[in-house]
């Protein structure tokens, strides 16, 4: 490259670094400062070799090292993407990795030297870095969020002899009970607290999701490792692996969903059928993956279609048969149908329930907005996604190959059926993992096209300009620390309350069951959630607000923890137990805190809670 261009690039890089460092120092992100500078240095180190008159092979020996450097850059992108650094840093990482792959790409496409082992090792390295950062940022110190507490409680309740859909009303399929029960059992076996153990399992599943996303993208592009690398970097860039709170059932569902697509690509029909059924029995909308599996088996040209379809049906049917026999044995078939199936349709049917219907009318638009937001906020990622989906769709039609049909159909079907569950943001981890696989496939398609032309140097210059521009856009978003009451605070509050509770004292927390999880005590009634979706599920089973209020009047729990909105509904429905309001229990990220109410004839409980609990009065 000419000397003036090199001087301009060097000056721009120095200015951008100089602008970034004071902002980081002012924000107090001392560890982030090291990460960001290291990230920039790694990219500029490689770019320096590309901008000089020396070829990249002379600067870094071999194509494998080029991709290895890309993986290291991706690891640093993990740290950059998990807040506290510019939101454009992840995009810069994608661009930097594109440059590396582009420069190493021979005329036939992406480099093959690293192979899948190097890619897998790099993905695991990135995953471990992400987990280490989550731990360092205080993930284990955070209190249990609403859905997390419900998930943990269902497993505890099942192991204490509870009966799904009878002694506990729940809007999700039965595998959630078993997923939680297995975790609780293993936590007991190892002596690790339930919450910490389940969070560790979710972090392991995050790495598995990364590996599956990379594997899907590689198969999508017919064996090109670079597609998997881009998929993983993009997965981190869109923050899908940082759900609202851990443990989170969506992480398990995301892993099983990605496993189903991965198995379909490899034509492991029986295993794919099992995975699709498990996904559906963890989260009902994912049942549509069973239809995807049958469609892929039918249209794939490399297998005898009826035999392949039979194997998919055999795998999925075996799971459904086992769960059906279980529900029949415990007498919960009708209750399951009412609470889960009818309730699910209640989310999307306007007018069926007052709380679920009107919101559900805008569900698909909301999900489309999620994707649009992703594209609008990050044009590069949006372009890669569209290229991947279009090229994959065209190949699926032309070649009728499972490698392209499985991810394209899975995403389209899941996206179309998400109207059953309108809380889009919490479900991102399920479907955006397929989006990032499409981004990897799209990036590989672009690089292969560029490598087949004579425009490699021109393209690298454009990407370099965008990379440097990305460094200059700062919108600091620090990772919020765990605020009181933390996880340890809640454990201490529960353990301090335990000596004051008699064996026959009932307690009742609604929506967030942290107290039941930490004390190991059952709720006073089967209803454990009173949010919009839960109310739709209860309506499907014929459970009204009046029924819930009457049950509370009968059980008269000594302690009631419930959000203000449901509390007003219960009072209007006839709740007559005489309670004393003590204060509000807040959870980070939740705008509707729990109200803490103590039965008026238990003043010792009220005094203890006032003195020891961290409440907002």
pLDDT tens-place string over residues 463-479: 555 544 444 443 434 44
Indicate the average pLDDT of the chain: 75
- Confidence (pLDDT) at 9: 45
Stronger pLDDT, 6 or 434, i.e. the higher one:
434
Helix, strand or coil, per DSSP, at residue 559:
strand
Rounded to whole angstroms, the Cα distance separating 261 from 436 reads 14
The percent of residues above 70 in pLDDT, for the chain, comes to 63
* Residue 482 pLDDT level (bands cut at 50, 70, 90): low
Question: What are the Cα distances from residue 383, in Å, to 60, 374, 387, 467?
Answer: 30, 11, 6, 16
Strand partners for 595: 562, 584
Strand partners for 579: 599
Stronger pLDDT, 587 or 51, i.e. the higher one:
587
pLDDT tens-place string over residues 349-402: 544 333 333 444 444 555 555 565 555 455 667 777 888 888 888 888 888 888
Stronger pLDDT, 248 or 450, i.e. the higher one:
248
E strand map for 493-593 = 507-509, 559-563, 579-585
Average pLDDT estimate for 476-503: 81
- Confidence (pLDDT) at 342: 86
pLDDT tens-place string over residues 560-617: 999 989 999 999 999 999 999 999 987 655 557 899 999 999 999 999 999 999 887 6
Q: Tell me the torsion sign for CA atoms 468, 128, 152, 487.
A: negative
Stronger pLDDT, 109 or 195, i.e. the higher one:
195
Distance from chain centroid for Cα 513: 21
Rounded to whole angstroms, the Cα distance separating 287 from 613 reads 43
- Confidence (pLDDT) at 114: 45
Model's pTM, two decimal places? 0.81
Rounded to whole angstroms, the Cα distance separating 165 from 291 reads 27
Stronger pLDDT, 165 or 400, i.e. the higher one:
165
- Confidence (pLDDT) at 510: 93
The length of the chain in residues reads 617
Quote the crossing angle between the two packed helices 288-299 and 305-330, to the nearest 10°. Answer: 160
E strand map for 376-500 = none
Quote the crossing angle between the two packed helices 379-399 and 402-417, to the nearest 10°. Answer: 120
**Angle 134-139-140 (CA atoms, 0-180°, nearest 5)?**
125
In the numeric block, which tokens belong to residue 573?
């429905």
pLDDT tens-place string over residues 265-316: 999 999 999 999 999 999 988 899 999 999 999 998 777 889 999 999 999 9
Phi, psi angle pair for 107, to nearest 5°: -60, -30
Q: Tell me the torsion sign for CA atoms 510, 512, 513, 514.
A: negative
* Residue 28 pLDDT level (bands cut at 50, 70, 90): very low
Rounded to whole angstroms, the Cα distance separating 287 from 294 reads 12
Q: Are 122 and 71 in contact (CB under 8 A)?
A: yes
Question: What are the Cα distances from residue 160, in Å, to 157, 522, 600?
Answer: 5, 9, 30
Strand partners for 581: 597
- Confidence (pLDDT) at 325: 97
Single out the residue of 186, 238, 233 nearest to residue 210, CA to CA: 233
pLDDT tens-place string over residues 494-547: 999 999 999 999 999 998 999 999 999 999 999 999 987 888 788 878 899 999
- Confidence (pLDDT) at 242: 55
């Amino acid at each position: 490259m000419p000397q003036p261009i090199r001087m301009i690039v060097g000056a721009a890089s120095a200015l951008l670094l100089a602008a970034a460092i004071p902002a980081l120092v002012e924000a107090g992100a001392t560890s982030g400062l090291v990460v960001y500078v290291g990230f920039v240095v790694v990219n500029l180190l490689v770019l320096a070799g590309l901008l000089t008159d020396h070829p990249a092979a002379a600067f870094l020996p071999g194509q494998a090292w080029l991709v290895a450097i890309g993986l290291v850059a991706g690891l640093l992108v993990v740290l950059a993407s998990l807040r506290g650094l510019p939101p454009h840093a992840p995009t810069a990482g994608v661009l930097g990795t594109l440059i590396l792959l582009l420069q190493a790409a021979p005329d036939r496409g992406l480099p093959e030297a690293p192979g899948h082992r190097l890619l897998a090792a790099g993905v695991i390295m990135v995953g471990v870095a992400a987990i280490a950062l989550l731990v360092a940022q205080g993930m284990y110190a955070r209190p249990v969020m609403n859905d997390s507490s419900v998930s943990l409680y269902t497993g505890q309740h099942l192991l204490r002899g509870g009966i799904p859909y009878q002694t506990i009303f729940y809007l999700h399929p039965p595998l959630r009970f078993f997923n939680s029960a297995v975790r609780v059992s293993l936590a007991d076996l190892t002596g690790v607290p339930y919450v910490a153990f389940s969070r560790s399992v979710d972090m392991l599943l995050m790495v598995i999701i990364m590996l599956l996303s990379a594997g899907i993208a590689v198969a999508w592009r017919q064996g090109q490792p670079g597609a998997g690398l881009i998929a993983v970097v993009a997965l981190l860039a869109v923050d899908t692996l940082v759900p609202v709170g851990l443990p989170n059932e969506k992480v398990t569902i995301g892993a099983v969903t990605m496993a189903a697509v991965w198995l379909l690509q490899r034509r492991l029909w029986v295993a794919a059928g099992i995975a699709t059924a498990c996904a559906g029995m963890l989260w009902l909308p994912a049942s549509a993956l069973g239809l995807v599996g049958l469609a892929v088996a039918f249209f794939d040209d490399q297998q005898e279609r009826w035999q392949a379809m039979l194997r998919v049906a055999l795998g999925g049917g075996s799971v459904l048969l086992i769960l059906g026999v279980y529900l029949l044995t415990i007498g919960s078939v009708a209750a399951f149908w009412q609470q889960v199936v009818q309730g699910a349709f209640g989310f999307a049917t306007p007018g069926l329930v007052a709380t679920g219907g009107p919101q559900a009318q805008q569900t698909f638009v909301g999900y489309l907005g999620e994707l649009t937001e992703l594209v609008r906020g990050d044009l590069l990622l949006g372009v890669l996604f569209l290229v991947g989906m279009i090229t994959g769709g065209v190949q699926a039609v032309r070649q009728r190959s499972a490698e392209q049909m499985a991810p394209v159909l899975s995403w389209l079907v899941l996206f179309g059926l998400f109207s059953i569950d309108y809380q889009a943001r919490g479900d991102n981890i399920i479907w955006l993992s397929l989006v990032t696989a499409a981004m990897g496939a799209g990036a590989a398609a672009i690089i292969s096209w560029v490598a087949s032309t004579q425009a490699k140097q021109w393209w690298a210059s454009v990407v370099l300009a965008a990379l440097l521009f990305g460094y200059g856009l700062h919108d600091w978003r620090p990772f919020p620390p765990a605020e009181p009451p933390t996880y340890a605070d809640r454990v201490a509050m529960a353990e301090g309350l335990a000596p004051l509770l008699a064996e026959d004292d009932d307690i009742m927390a609604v929506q967030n069951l942290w107290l039941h999880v930490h004390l190991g005590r059952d709720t006073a009634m089967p209803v454990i959630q009173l949010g919009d979706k839960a109310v739709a599920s209860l309506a499907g089973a014929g459970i009204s607000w009046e029924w819930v209020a009457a049950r509370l009047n009968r059980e008269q729990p000594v302690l009631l923890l419930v959000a203000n909105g449901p509390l007003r509904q219960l009072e209007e429905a006839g709740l007559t137990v005489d309670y004393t309001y003590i204060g509000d229990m807040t959870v980070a990220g939740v705008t509707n805190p729990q109200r803490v109410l103590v039965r008026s004839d238990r003043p010792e409980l009220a005094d203890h809670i006032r003195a020891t609990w961290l409440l907002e009065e």
